[in-house]
Amino acid sequence: MTAVNGLHQDPKPAETPLRRCAHNIAAAVTVLLRPPRLHRPWGIAPRQIGVAVVVGLGALLLCMIFIDGASANAAQRLPRWVIWSFEQITDYGKSGWFLWPLGVLFLALAALPHGRLTRISQGVLAALMVRVGFLFLAIGAPSLFDTIIKRMIGRARPFTTGIADPFVFSPFKWTADYASLPSGHATTAFAVLAAFGTLWPRWRTIFLVYAVAIAISRVVVTAHYPSDVLAGGLVGAGGVVLVRRYFALRRLGFSLGPGNGIHQYPGPSLKRIKAVARELLAE
């Protein structure tokens, strides 16, 4: 990847799409794992971090005490058509709905003959690969963390023991019934909101509606307590922040400005993308 966006391509093209794909993926991984070009502290005092952690844990505890049990019992009393409606949308919070298309798109971009294109066209493809890679990691990394940590915590889902008891825990049980905190669907939904909303701010409202709908659905179908959803949202959004900073320190699609503000490099326009497509078809 260039300092701004993309992969530094070897002008000698690989002989087959498979070899080109392997070559470009190896180049992308090498750049992604390189040491940061910038060394910037977070600019946040340890005391501030400690306060934020205490406030977050306090909010979760209050939610567990005063909201979780009542919400789970109320969800069971909802009209059947309401529950059915949320059952139709809740599975769209699975990370696979985003990771599979993004992964396939990244592989397809890597398999294209970058070396046969002009430098401008190579830069366009590299910029696209950076953005697709960012989306994949920004959604995939929090989801992976959630999958591991929820099984270590071992919180029982609502009515696993026959009642809505928010304080039933069995750490390291490694079963789905004891993998409630944090909510994986909420983690994915809010990671999607933060990641896609970062690249396309004008569409944040749509992504927000999606994230909130998924979060509510997990409570309505009694798969999670509200505190599970709250924790999942924090993990998802926080994970995107960390991935975005990781990219910015390496000047991949983002950069760090004064005061540690993260700035996004302009992406390729639709006109540029169409020009690259015409160039590829002319090969």
Instruction: Please tell me the predicted confidence (pLDDT) of residue 128.
Output: 95
Length of the chain counted residue by residue: 283
If you average pLDDT over residues 132-141, what whole number do you get? 98
Residue 153 to residues 149, 172, 212, 215, Cα–Cα distance (Å): 6, 7, 24, 20
> What pLDDT score was predicted for residue 6?
47
Fold of 46-281: Vanadium-containing Chloroperoxidase; domain 1 (1.20.144)
Tell me the pLDDT tens digit for each residue of 217-242: 999 999 999 999 999 999 999 999 99
* pLDDT of res. 157: 97
Taking the C-alpha atoms of residue 164 and residue 155, their distance in angstroms, rounded to an integer, is 12
User: How many other C-beta atoms lie within 10 A of the C-beta of residue 162?
Assistant: 6
Longest pairwise C-alpha distance within the chain = 65
Q: Where are the chain's structural domains?
A: 46-281
pLDDT at 1 over 50: no
Query: Does the reported pTM lie above 0.85?
Result: yes
Percent of the chain with pLDDT over 70: 93
Residue 218: count of CB within 10 angstroms of its CB: 25
Structural tokens at position 85: 């409606």
Q: Are 139 and 191 in contact (CB under 8 A)?
A: yes
pLDDT range class, residue 13, cuts 50, 70, 90:
very low
Place of tokens 């390729």: 268
Predicted local confidence at residue 17, as pLDDT: 85
* pLDDT category of residue 54 using cuts at 50, 70 and 90: very high
pLDDT digits (tens, 9 = 90+) for 142-170: 999 999 999 999 999 999 999 999 999 99
Helices 204-220 and 69-76 pack at an angle, to 10 degrees, of 80
Render pLDDT for 258-268 as a digit per residue (tens, 0 to 9): 777 889 999 88
Cα(125)–Cα(74) distance, integer angstroms: 51
**Model confidence band, residue 3 (pLDDT cutoffs 50, 70, 90):** very low
Which residues are CB-contacts of 264 (< 8 A; sequence separation ≥ 6)? Answer: 198, 199, 253, 254
**Per-residue confidence at 49, pLDDT binned at 50, 70, 90?**
confident
Tell me how far CA of residue 91 lies from CA of 86, 217, 221, in angstroms: 9, 9, 11
The DSSP-derived string for 213-261 is: HHHHHHHHTTSS-HHHHHHHHHHHHHHHHHHHHHHHHTTSSEEE-GGG-
pLDDT (0 to 100) of residue 206: 97
Q: Cα 43 from chain centroid?
A: 24
Arithmetic mean of pLDDT, 38-42: 72
The phi and psi torsions of 266 (rounded to 5 degrees) equal -60, 135
Looking at the chain, the whole-number percentage of residues with pLDDT higher than 90 is: 72
Dihedral sign, Cα of residue 87, residue 93, residue 96, residue 98: positive
Q: In this structure, what token pair is assigned to residue 10?
A: 């070897």
pLDDT at 14: 44
DSSP conformation letters of 183-221 = -HHHHHHHHHHHHHHHH-GGGHHHHHHHHHHHHHHHHHT
Average pLDDT of the chain is 91
Q: Band the pLDDT of 25: cuts 50, 70, 90.
A: very high
Higher-confidence residue of 83 and 279: namely 83
Residue pair 206/192 in contact by the 8 Å Cβ criterion: no
Could you tell me the pLDDT band of residue 117, with boundaries at 50, 70 and 90? confident
Distance CA 77, CA 95 (A): 29
